[in-house]
Amino acid sequence: SLLDDLQHGGEKKRARARRFFRETLTASAEVFAAKRFFLSDEFSLVDCTIAPILWRLEHFGIELPAAAAPVKAYMERVFSKESFVASLSEAEAEMRA
């Protein structure tokens, strides 16, 4: 899986997985721009599913380009929610410390 490649793969597999995430999220930028949260004006379970993945991007060395600005803005909105911060485990909090 892509996660396995990011965690345990050789440099080629890690680079391929990083590129996949970067390109897929950039291509999805319009979807993230459509509403305050993922396809909704209200925070939902979809956001609860997506947020932990996005939280780990930095940890895995995945940098989003300027074209993914709506994704970055979405991440800032979700990551600034008190409930999100309170839900982080110690290990998760350290990923972006």
Residues 6+ apart with CB under 8 A from 18: 6, 60, 61, 62
Average pLDDT, the chain: 96
pLDDT at 97 over 90: no
pLDDT at 90 over 90: yes
Give tens-digit pLDDT for 31-47.
999 999 999 999 999 99
CA distance 43 to 84: 11
> Quick one: average pLDDT of 43-68?
96
Model pTM above 0.85: yes
pLDDT reported for residue 74: 98
All structural domains of the chain, each given as residue ranges with its CATH number in brackets, are: 2-95 (1.20.1050.10)
